Amino acid sequence: MNYRVSGTSKDVNGVEKIFTLHFSCHNPTMIHEAMGAIAKYNYEQIAIVNIATNQINIIQYETNEVSILDYTKYSMDYCIHNIFKDDQEMFLHNVNPKIVEKELEESDSYEFVCRICEKDGGIGYGQTRFISYNQDKKICLMTRTDVTEIVLREDRDKNTELKEALNAAQAATQSKSQFLSRMSHEIRTPMNAIMGMTAIAKDNITDFLQVSECLNKIDLSSQYLLTLLNDILEMSSIESGGMEVKNEIFYFRDLINGISTIVEHAAQQNDIRYECVNHANIDGYYQGDSTRIQQIIVNIITNAIKFTPKQGRVRFTIDVKEKADNISMFCFTIADTGIGMSEEFMTQMFHPFVQEDGSNTSKYGGSGLGLTISKNLIELMGGTIEVESTIAVGTTFNVKIPLKRAKTIHEVPDDLQNNQALSHKNSLKNCQILMAEDHPLNIMITKKLLEKMGMTVTVVENGKSAVDIFAKSKPGFYQAILMDIRMPVMDGLEAARAIRALKREDARNIPIIAMTANALNEDRQKTKEAGMNAHLAKPFKPEELFNILMEYINE
């Protein structure tokens, strides 16, 4: 008679193996001995379960005998004497004949693990497994394996991973706590100056020079405060993966002139010798994000000025290497004779919320996020940043950014040429503007700015009123709508959607400009989805508002 016994097993490392025995034998005792040998090598127990007859054939490998028992009674007895009390209900559910039959209809095997009471009083883990043998006759192979070592090893690995994750989370929390502490100091400093200068101006309201000096200092403090807030928002965009760069045509000379205009004044104030050495074609047009490039370079140069003692030197060098497909690789080098950085700090200088010396914050100011933001922007543009530094000698930053060339002025899109000529177009005089804003101070400031340019402003204090006023107006009466987002009754997003849905021609075309303190990328996306043309984040410069209005009204 020919016999075949097959099944699958897992070794102590959890690796699944397949076993199959083929033999020809007329002696059932030999079959039992072979099965017992398999059980002794791989399993604590092997049995054959007949679900149809509710019988279990257990092979005792010590004696090579087969015991035929009632499956339900055997399962109950085994559960009471061997299964940990809290797992008994789960065990009985999983060995229930109906559950076993259902599971084996869906898969060739079915297994579960539960806790076992060991003879020494300890707790182990046992794996029970059912393997389909003959579905028609509802016969399956049942095995039981000790998997205590595997489970304990996996638990140790999980505990190690959890511990490492906890340590990383605690380190991040500590860094952010230190950052918030620094930011509290940094934000309060300009706020103190603004409030103090305002009080002095009020007390000397008739002294023109005193008031003018106070206003200048208030302006500087507010600009510094806005820089801190922008850094925090940029960091939020980095952590959420929402930071973006544009790909527009720009004039390279404007980029370099803009950088020099900003940093030369800072260098003069700090008694630093600033040099700009240009080896590139600054008259060319290139494609990229000039605003972001300026942000990166200005941040690095102003840092160099900040950390360089008086009468030191900061040199900004521009080199270019032509590559294939009209790509130019620009290398911006910023070298200073400043205080330098330690090797230890340089390994983490681009990490957020990290500064080399906490005392430097009060001495030099700043959020400590500039380098983190710059590195992320450079990498988004496909560039690289490298740093060399020596304590008390100086630091050199090398920034490489690829830019695509536009060979002639004819390659510059019409919209860029239009943007460059905005200042030469007709003024905004006599334009009718509908403004939805609920904050009295914002209403007063914006209204005065617009009226100074000759515009007429209709003010409403919620989105619903804006929809109603626009719907009742004659088509074409309003040239633009300025829309706050957070307002009572109806917010700006809902109001913009309602206006776009009105059945009149100008409802689809009128420029709707979000003018809001919601300044994150996701906020900009929401205003765009609501049908708004542009997003102006508060606080804004008057020129920004005028340029946006001129751009969309002229269209």
Residues whose CB is less than 8 angstroms from the CB of residue 136 and which lie 6 or more positions away in sequence, other chains included = none
**Residue 89 binned pLDDT confidence (cut-offs 50, 70, 90):** very high
Mean pLDDT calculated for residue range 319-333: 89
Full DSSP string of 250-312 = EEHHHHHHHHHHHHHHHHHHTT-EEEEEE-S-TT-EEEE-HHHHHHHHHHHHHHHHHTS-TT-
> Which is nearest to 486 in space by CA: 539, 527, 547, 426?
527
- Whether 37 shows a pLDDT value over 50: the answer reads no
Burial 517-530 (b: 16+ CB within 10 A, else e): ebbebebbebbeeb
How open is the CA angle 335-341-342, to the nearest 5 degrees? 145
Cis peptide before 539 (omega within 30 of 0): yes
- Whether 135 shows a pLDDT value over 50: the answer reads yes
**HSE-CB for 149 with a 13 A CA cutoff:** 7
Identify the pLDDT of residue 18.
45
Q: Which amino acid is at 54?
A: N
| Better-scored residue on pLDDT, 61 or 419 | 61
> Which is nearest to 316 in space by CA: 328, 340, 290, 298?
298
Mean pLDDT calculated for residue range 402-418: 62
Bridge partners, 9 (sequence order): 17
Say whether both 384 and 265 belong to one domain.
yes
Contact at 8 Å (CB) between 34 and 171? Answer: no
- Whether 408 shows a pLDDT value over 80: the answer reads no
The mean-pLDDT minimum among 67-81, 252-266, 314-328 falls in: 252-266
The mean-pLDDT minimum among 24-38, 245-259, 462-476, 533-547 falls in: 24-38
Say whether both 316 and 382 belong to one domain.
yes
H-only helix segments in 501-541? 505-509, 521-529
Identify the pLDDT of residue 41.
45
* Residue with the two structure tokens 């983190």: 372
Say whether both 13 and 141 belong to one domain.
yes
Mean pLDDT rounded to a whole number for the chain: 82
Full DSSP string of 75-93 = HHHHHHHHB-GGGHHHHHH
Identify the pLDDT of residue 265.
80
3-state SS assignment for residue 24: strand
Identify the pLDDT of residue 541.
81
| Better-scored residue on pLDDT, 445 or 43 | 445
Of the chain, the percentage scoring pLDDT greater than 70 comes to 81
Q: Which of 394, 414, 434 is the last residue of a domain?
A: 414
- Whether 323 shows a pLDDT value over 60: the answer reads yes
3-state SS assignment for residue 394: strand
CA distance 103 to 38: 25
- Whether 414 shows a pLDDT value over 60: the answer reads no
Per-residue tokens: 498: 């309602």
Mean pLDDT calculated for residue range 508-529: 87
| Better-scored residue on pLDDT, 167 or 467 | 467
Q: Which of 217, 240, 263 is the last residue of a domain?
A: 240
* Residue with the two structure tokens 């009128």: 510
3-state SS assignment for residue 481: strand
* DSSP 8-state class, residue 117: E
Say whether both 408 and 486 belong to one domain.
no
Identify the pLDDT of residue 356.
59
**Residue 40 binned pLDDT confidence (cut-offs 50, 70, 90):** very low
CA distance 50 to 68: 11
What is the CATH number for 207?
Answer: 1.10.287.130
Mean pLDDT calculated for residue range 265-292: 87
Per-residue tokens: 106: 């869906």
What is the CATH number for 54?
Answer: 3.30.450
Q: How many domains does the chain have?
A: 4
Burial 189-209 (b: 16+ CB within 10 A, else e): bbeebbeebeebbeeeeeeee
| Better-scored residue on pLDDT, 64 or 125 | 125
The mean-pLDDT minimum among 58-67, 203-212, 283-292, 428-437 falls in: 58-67
Domain that holds residue 93: 2-146
CA distance 109 to 53: 20
- Whether 71 shows a pLDDT value over 60: the answer reads yes
Distance from chain centroid for Cα 241: 3
CA distance 166 to 161: 8
Per-residue pLDDT tens digits for 176-223 = 666 666 666 667 767 877 888 898 899 999 999 999 988 988 887 787
Burial 166-175 (b: 16+ CB within 10 A, else e): eeeeeeeeee
> Which is nearest to 297 in space by CA: 377, 177, 243?
377
Mean pLDDT calculated for residue range 339-350: 88
Per-residue pLDDT tens digits for 358-379 = 444 445 555 667 888 899 999 9
Q: Which of 240, 259, 279 is the last residue of a domain?
A: 240
pTM, full prediction: 0.51
Identify the pLDDT of residue 6.
47
Among 98-102, 186-190, 263-267, the range with the most confident prediction by mean pLDDT is 98-102
Residues whose CB is less than 8 angstroms from the CB of residue 551 and which lie 6 or more positions away in sequence, other chains included = 418, 419, 422, 534
Per-residue pLDDT tens digits for 137-171 = 888 988 888 888 888 888 888 888 888 887 777 77
Say whether both 376 and 445 belong to one domain.
no
Mean pLDDT calculated for residue range 247-273: 87
In order of 243, 417, 552, the CA distances from 424 in angstroms are: 33, 12, 15
Bridge partners, 406 (sequence order): 285
- Whether 19 shows a pLDDT value over 50: the answer reads no
Say whether both 384 and 253 belong to one domain.
yes
3-state SS assignment for residue 128: strand
| Better-scored residue on pLDDT, 313 or 42 | 313
- Whether 405 shows a pLDDT value over 80: the answer reads yes
Say whether both 236 and 285 belong to one domain.
no
CA distance 531 to 512: 8
CA distance 416 to 403: 17
Mean pLDDT calculated for residue range 517-539: 86
- Whether 122 shows a pLDDT value over 80: the answer reads yes
Say whether both 301 and 325 belong to one domain.
yes
* Residue with the two structure tokens 């160099």: 304
Contact at 8 Å (CB) between 356 and 364? Answer: no
What is the CATH number for 402?
Answer: 3.30.565.10
CA distance 140 to 242: 55
Distance from chain centroid for Cα 69: 61
Of the chain, the percentage scoring pLDDT greater than 90 comes to 40
Say whether both 19 and 140 belong to one domain.
yes
Per-residue tokens: 141: 């192979």
- Whether 97 shows a pLDDT value over 80: the answer reads yes
Say whether both 261 and 398 belong to one domain.
yes
> Which is nearest to 404 in space by CA: 290, 326, 349?
326
Identify the pLDDT of residue 1.
41
Say whether both 32 and 127 belong to one domain.
yes
Mean pLDDT calculated for residue range 303-309: 92
Say whether both 272 and 409 belong to one domain.
yes
What is the CATH number for 454?
Answer: 3.40.50.2300
- Whether 292 shows a pLDDT value over 80: the answer reads yes
Identify the pLDDT of residue 22.
38
* Residue with the two structure tokens 């004039």: 251
Contact at 8 Å (CB) between 497 and 475? Answer: no
Contact at 8 Å (CB) between 332 and 318? Answer: yes
- Whether 424 shows a pLDDT value over 50: the answer reads no
